[in-house]
Amino acid sequence: MAGDYIRDEHKGSITYWKDQVRETVGENTISQITNGVLTAYGDTVDLGVGIADTVLDAVLALNSCAVGASYCDTAMSDLRKSDQTIGNAMDAIINGQAWDAIKGNVVKAANGDQVALENTAALLTSIIAPSKVLGNIGKPGNIVNKVDDIAVKGSIPEIKGTQVGLRDPAQIDLMKSDMLNGSFEFTATRGKIAGYIDSKENYYITGGHHRMAAAQEIYKTTGDATYIHKLLENGKWDKTNKVLVDARPLPTRKP
């Protein structure tokens, strides 16, 4: 009964702070992402009741800096004033190797990608959750590890195919099973995919559509892009300066 009361109070505070976000930065991409993340927080009390102001500062800082908005410097200044430790952690993320992947994830969240939104919420939780709730995850070293994990699991580049349909859809279930149980050989000839990569690091697959379809299905189900990255990292890619004329969305299985 008490837990239900706390949860209701927490949801009420989320509604209040969503209104504050709109008043602070207006109706735009930043407020869209921020309020989406705050809505995700509405179903948990892990962050602790009463620190919504710090949540707001952290969300605004991450999202405004990710989209390159002019509000970034102001948001970071506010976050440091609210909590210097969290501000330092955010600085480490923005200046870290995973920042480009994190930025891409935030932009996807702004475009309505639910998995990206959940990954952004998970990242923010790892930064701002009190240590008494989540133990050591709030320490700087663990935060960096969490960021790297989220970046890998939630961010994928643009991938196109050159094939219409899948010739043997039944193969995909076998490939998914092998990937999930660790027996898929990504470095073996039969496990590799091939194609082209352009100057913007967009991929165009010419061989291995079924393998990528299997990895994509895992990603859509779990939000884990690890297998997509393994295929890309071990693939054979020729560089190209132009978009392939036969490039098209990756083929998928019909429901």
Confirm whether 172 is domain-assigned.
Answer: yes
Q: Is residue 148 located within the same domain as residue 163?
A: no
Q: What does the block give as tokens for 29?
A: 């991409």
Q: What is the domain extent for residue 136?
A: 2-154
Confirm whether 225 is domain-assigned.
Answer: yes
Q: Is residue 44 located within the same domain as residue 137?
A: yes
Count up the domains in the chain and report the number: 2
Q: End of a domain among 138, 154, 170?
A: 154
pLDDT at 113: 73
Q: End of a domain among 126, 154, 182?
A: 154
Which CA distances in Å does 135 have to 127, 128, 132, 179, 188? 12, 12, 6, 32, 41
pLDDT at 40: 60
Q: Is residue 109 located within the same domain as residue 229?
A: no
Confirm whether 244 is domain-assigned.
Answer: yes
Radius of gyration, alpha carbons of the chain = 21
Confirm whether 9 is domain-assigned.
Answer: yes
Confirm whether 254 is domain-assigned.
Answer: no
Q: End of a domain among 118, 134, 154?
A: 154
A 10 A CB-CB count for 216 gives 22
Q: What does the block give as tokens for 94?
A: 């923005």
For the chain (255 residues), the mean pLDDT of every run of 10, in chain order, is: 42 67 69 66 48 69 80 86 82 80 76 72 65 36 42 65 90 93 93 92 92 89 78 93 84 82
Q: Is residue 193 located within the same domain as residue 123?
A: no
Q: Is residue 192 located within the same domain as residue 220?
A: yes
- For the entire predicted model, the pTM comes to 0.46
